[in-house]
Amino acid sequence: MTVQSAMATLGPSRRWRNWGRTVEARPAAVASPASPDEVAAVIRTARERGLPVKAVGAGHSFTAIAATDGVQLDISAIDGVLAVDGTRVRLGAGTNLYQLPALLAPHGLALANMGDIDRQTIAGATATGTHGTGLRFGGLATQIRAATLVTASGDLLRVSESENAELLPAVRIGLGALGILVDVTIECVPAYLLHAVERGERLDAVLDEWLDRVEAADHFEFYAFPHADGVSTKTNTRLPADAERHPAHPVSNWIEEVLVQSGVIAAMCQVSRVVPDVLPPLHRLATTLQGNRDFTDASPAVFTSPRYTRFREMEYALPVEAVPDALRAVKRMIAERDLRIGYPIEVRAAAADDIWLSTAHGRRTGYIAVHHYFRQDPTRYFREVEAIMRSFDGRPHWGKMHVRDAGSLAAAYPRFADFLAVRDRLDPERVFRNDYLTRVLGV
Ligand SMILES: Cc1cc2nc3c(=O)[nH]c(=O)nc-3n(C[C@H](O)[C@H](O)[C@H](O)COP(=O)(O)OP(=O)(O)OC[C@H]3O[C@@H](n4cnc5c(N)ncnc54)[C@H](O)[C@@H]3O)c2cc1C
């Protein structure tokens, strides 16, 4: 593709908003390349015009990490399975996670672990360190075995365990700062089922047993209600693909996912804007009404569920042992400051890994995520929670709201300077810059 035709592919400016409605941008131009060559041509054109370039995935980051006033690259046309070699699957970088069950089924494969939704693209999810739960399982980026980028010079760069291998720990979680990913090779696992057990329990008991429970289970997580002592625990156990399935009853699924997780919480948030004192009794009621469920289904159906209500989110990664004290501190703070918080607090865990900017770098990790209804201002709540998380040596999720900058993040990541050196090498002119990257990485 020539530069002229690449210029022709730069579509007109249009308003862009992220899912959480925390970020709005008006890119100077939008391009929808369908091949690595077209990506390269757009990058060269943008550079000639002095415009930065930013790929956007599904816009599910709450931070401004995907925002640009330059050229926005929509790579959704670069998707699907490009090659399969045993359990290794090369995917177009714009593949959405919800496409994967159908794409991987013919090969009898699945992702080793997933977060709680499947809307993201594989490039966007891995670039920000998206994770699920399970102390024996790393985040999605730990499954990356190779990737192809188009660099700032417009060249194709292959990174794998045998090609430019020294770049792999940076490229796996690259924050969109190192180049445009056009494909990603993921280590999948044979397809499996999950037996899910959901229970209503007491917070103190769950926190007292936290370490034992995350160590014993394949995938353990819980949701704590800010104004009640109850928690909803989820324990998923891996089973072979030919085990007997007992999918959740559609009515119980609707009650849990639509009515409780989205409808009731949204209603609570709406009502509490007018009558703030309604939340504590409603949370106590919700913990009493909570149903216990057991079901067995294919892993993506158990890991993920739809989100019908918009919210804002901040999530911090802590040493896994720190979770009970940190969560108790958050609950104490909410009571002392007399805050009214509708959304439950989500608590998960992940294995340690060696990716330079992974929130789980070098330590077994517990995650505490706080949410706030999108029509309410989360500033005070998130600021107070962030102060607590920092006192426990917390690292913020790159795609979720936080106020940290390069100065404080450098101290949280032992290989931060190595990542910056790779950025200097691959993008010395900062073609892939935006305000968020300048804040969290420095110039
Ligand atoms: C409802 C909801 C639930 C969520 N649940 C979880 C969860 O369970 N666990 C978790 O960890 N996170 C979760 N997240 C956060 C989410 O997974 C991440 O923020 C992720 O980045 C979103 O992927 P995306 O495709 O929307 O990427 P975007 O937000 O569009 O982009 C993210 C970054 O990736 C870059 N990027 C995208 N494509 C490319 C490319 N081709 N090449 C280079 N860079 C690229 C962008 O430039 C940007 O820097 C959730 C978010 C929401 C809104």
130 touches ligand 1 (CB under 6 Å): yes
pLDDT at 215 (0 to 100) = 98
Measured in residues, the chain has a length of 443
Cα 55 to ligand 1 centroid, rounded to whole Å: 11
To test the pocket of ligand 1, the residue of 100, 117, 171 to mutate (highest count of ligand atoms within 8 Å of its CB) is 117
**How many separate helices (H) and strands (E) can be counted in the chain?**
16, 20
Does the pLDDT of residue 252 top 80, yes or no? no
134 touches ligand 1 (CB under 6 Å): no
CB atoms within 10 A of CB 13: 14
CB atoms within 10 A of CB 120: 26
For tokens 């494969």, the residue is 109
Does the pLDDT of residue 79 top 60, yes or no? yes
Instruction: Report pLDDT digits (tens) over 147-168.
Output: 999 999 999 999 999 999 999 9
Instruction: Select from 177, 65, 138 the least CA-distant residue to 427.
Output: 177
Q: What is the DSSP letter of 52?
A: -
d(CA 116, CA 135): 16
310 touches ligand 1 (CB under 6 Å): no
CA distances from 213 to 128, 139, 233, 306, 367 (A): 27, 19, 11, 26, 15
d(CA 51, CA 72): 10
Q: Please, which pLDDT band fits residue 249 given cuts at 50, 70 and 90?
A: confident
H helices within 23-121, ranges in order?
36-48, 100-104
Q: What is the DSSP letter of 304?
A: -
Strand order in the sheet with 180-187: 81-85, 88-92, 180-187, 144-150, 156-160
For ligand 1, what atom is nearest to the CA of residue 432? 47
Instruction: Report pLDDT digits (tens) over 218-246.
Output: 999 999 999 999 999 999 999 999 999 99
Q: Do 304 and 130 meet the contact criterion of CB atoms below 8 Å apart? A: no
Q: Give, for 279, the enclosing helix (H) or strand (E).
A: helix 279-289
Give the residue-averaged pLDDT of 417-427: 98
Q: Do 162 and 204 meet the contact criterion of CB atoms below 8 Å apart? A: no
Handedness of CA 214, 216, 221, 225 (dihedral sign): negative
Q: Do 439 and 63 meet the contact criterion of CB atoms below 8 Å apart? A: no
Instruction: Report pLDDT digits (tens) over 176-224.
Output: 999 999 999 999 999 999 999 999 999 999 999 999 999 999 999 999 9
pLDDT at 262 (0 to 100) = 60
Q: Please, which pLDDT band fits residue 4 given cuts at 50, 70 and 90?
A: very low
Q: Say how far residue 167 (Cα) sits from the centre of its chain.
A: 22
DSSP result, 383-430: HHHHHHHHHTT-EE-TTS-----HHHHHHH-TTHHHHHHHHHHH-TT-
At 59 the three-state DSSP class reads coil
CB atoms within 10 A of CB 314: 24
Does the pLDDT of residue 127 top 90, yes or no? yes
74 touches ligand 1 (CB under 6 Å): no
Rg of the chain taking only CA atoms, in angstroms: 22
Q: Please, which pLDDT band fits residue 1 given cuts at 50, 70 and 90?
A: very low
CA distances from 424 to 57, 90, 309, 421 (A): 24, 27, 40, 5
Instruction: Report pLDDT digits (tens) over 326-366.
Output: 999 999 999 999 998 988 999 999 999 999 999 999 999 99
d(CA 82, CA 84): 7
Residue nearest to atom 36 of ligand 1 (CA): 124
pLDDT at 10 (0 to 100) = 76
CB atoms within 10 A of CB 205: 12
181 touches ligand 1 (CB under 6 Å): yes
Residue nearest to atom 33 of ligand 1 (CA): 124
At 233 the three-state DSSP class reads strand
* Mean pLDDT of all residues belonging to the chain: 92
Instruction: Report pLDDT digits (tens) over 13-30.
Output: 789 999 999 999 999 999
Instruction: Report pLDDT digits (tens) over 255-299.
Output: 566 555 665 666 666 666 666 676 777 666 666 666 688 999 999
pLDDT at 108 (0 to 100) = 98
